[in-house]
Amino acid sequence: MVSAMLVSCESDSDPNNGIIAATDSLLLRFTDTTTLTAFIENDDTLRTDGTDRVLLGSYHDPVFGKTRASFYSTFTIAQSFHSSAGVIDSVILTMKYDGGYGDLSKFTGYQVLQVFEVLEEIPAPPTEGYNSSTSFTKSAIPLATYGYAPQFFPSGTEPAAIRIKINPTFANRFFTGDTINSLNIRDYLDGIFVQIDPSVTAMQSATQGGIAYFKLNSDVSNIKVYYHEGATSYALKLPMGTSSNRRINIFQHDYTIASADAAFVNKLTTPTDTSSSDKLYIQAMEGTRVKVKMPYIQSYLDSGPIIVNRAELVIPIDNTQDLLLYPIPINMLTYTLAADGRIKLMSDIFYTYYDSYYNATTQEYKVVITQYIQQVVNGEEVAEFYIDIPVLTKNTDAYRIVINAVEHATKPLKLNLTYTRIPTS
C-alpha cells in the first residue's frame, strides 16, 4: 500500500538525514522540509490593456496602503452620422456595473469620479502591451465630476450601471454637417480618462473605500448624445464595447510607511527581512507578488536520480485578515519568468493532474507542481518561481491576500514532496 510506504522524511538541506539504508526495499519517499526562501516584490510584468472590464475606485487597505484605479477608453460610432441642425439636449456616459471589492457602502465607500477628455491619439498597444506607467495628454478641466457610492442595482429592464452627465458643449464637435463614421471617429474624439478625485483618496481612513468593476465590453457601456431636430428627438451612440476600442487600466499604490502596515513595507523594501513579519503579501492591480527560491533542491540527487511522484505547494493564509471585506481568490497561480521577463506558465498547467484550490476548512491553498519540480531536479528549469493571483484575474479583480511565510511557527509555506529514488545498481 502506498500509505504504508510514505515513511521517510528527508530534508534537502541535509540529504543524509533520515535516508533509509540502501539495503532497504522501500524506495518511495516523502518530505515536507524542502528548504524554501520567499520574499515579496513589486509586480512589473502585468499588462493592463485589452480587458473586458476595467477597475475604478480608491481604497485604503490597512495592510497594503492606499490604492487608486483609473482607466482610459476609446470609442467607436454605432452608425454613420451627419447633422448641422441638431440641438443638443444632454450627453450621458453609461458604464455597466460588474461588481466590486472592498467597502462599497454608502458613506465610507463614497467616491468622486472625474471624466477627462484625452487630447492625443491612443495608438494600438505595443507588443508587450500597456501598463500603469502609460500616460496620455488629457484636458485640464474635467468633462464631468460625479459623487457616488459604488453600489448599483438594476432598474426595471435596465442592467445595473452608472450614468454620468457630461458637459453638453462636449458634443458640439459632432454637429458640423460633416459625415462621421467608424473610419474617422477618432478625429473627433480620441478617448476619455476616468479617475477618482485624488482628494478623496487623501481623506480615506484604513478600511474605507473600494474598487468598482465596469464591463466596458458591453453594449450598455457608451456615450449617448441626445439631441433634437425640430420636434423629433434622436440619440447619437458612441460605444465602448467594440473590439477596436482600447481600454487601459492605471493602478497607483502608496506603499509608504505613512499609508501601509510597517511589516508589509519592511518586507517590500528589505527582501531579506524575515523578522518583521512571518507573513507574505500579494496584491493584484500591478501590486506585489511572492518569489520563492529552492536553494538546495539539487541535493536530492546526491544519492542518485529521483522520480518526482507528486509535488504539492501548501500556501496557508493569514486567517486574522478580514476576509469579508477583502475576500480571497478561489485559487492561486505559480509561474516562472521567461528570459524576456514575461510570465511563463508551468508545464503542469497543461496536464490533467494539475490542480490549484483553496480548502476553506484548513484555510490553505494547495497547488500541484509535480512536472515543474521534476524539471528543476533535471536541470531543465530554474529553481525559483512566483506565487501570485491568477494572471487573468490580476488586472480585472482587486484581490489582495496575506499568506503565511516559510518562517511561520505553526503553519508555514511549504512543499510536500513525494518521490521515488531510482536504484543505481
What one-letter code names the amino acid at 209? G
pLDDT digits (tens, 9 = 90+) for 35-54: 999 999 999 878 999 898 99
Grid cell, residue 302, equals 546526491
Cα–Cα dist 50/124, whole Å: 10
Q: Are 225 and 75 in contact (CB under 8 A)?
A: no
Amino acid identity of residue 55, one-letter, is: L
pLDDT digits (tens, 9 = 90+) for 182-217: 899 999 999 999 999 999 999 999 999 999 999 999
Q: Give, in order, the Cα–Cα distances in Å from 276 to each of 265, 273, 290.
A: 10, 7, 16
- Could you tell me the end-to-end alpha-carbon distance of the chain, in angstroms, rounded to an integer? 24
Confidence at residue 276, expressed as pLDDT on a 0 to 100 scale: 85
Phi, psi for residue 62 in degrees, rounded to 5: -65, -20
Q: Taking residues 244-271, what's their average pLDDT?
A: 95
Q: Tell me: the pLDDT tens digits for 67-93? A: 999 999 999 998 899 888 899 999 999
Residue 12 has pLDDT above 80, yes or no: no
**Average pLDDT taken over every residue of the chain:** 91
pLDDT at 4 over 60: no
Cα 265 → chain centroid: 20
Question: What is the residue extent of each domain of the chain?
Answer: 2-44+259-421, 53-245
CA distance 373 to 336: 12
Of the given ranges (19-33, 106-120, 242-256), which has the lowest mean pLDDT?
19-33
Which tens digit of pLDDT belongs to each residue from 148-193?
A: 998 888 888 889 999 999 999 999 999 999 999 989 999 999 999 9
28 burial via Cβ count (<10 Å: 0-12, 13-18, 19+): middle
User: pTM of the prediction?
Assistant: 0.90
Backbone angles phi and psi of 219, in degrees to 5: -65, -20
Q: Using CA atoms, how far apart are residues 45 and 389, in angstroms rounded to an integer? A: 13
For residue 188, the SS3 value is coil
Q: How many CB atoms lie within 10 A of CB 198?
A: 13
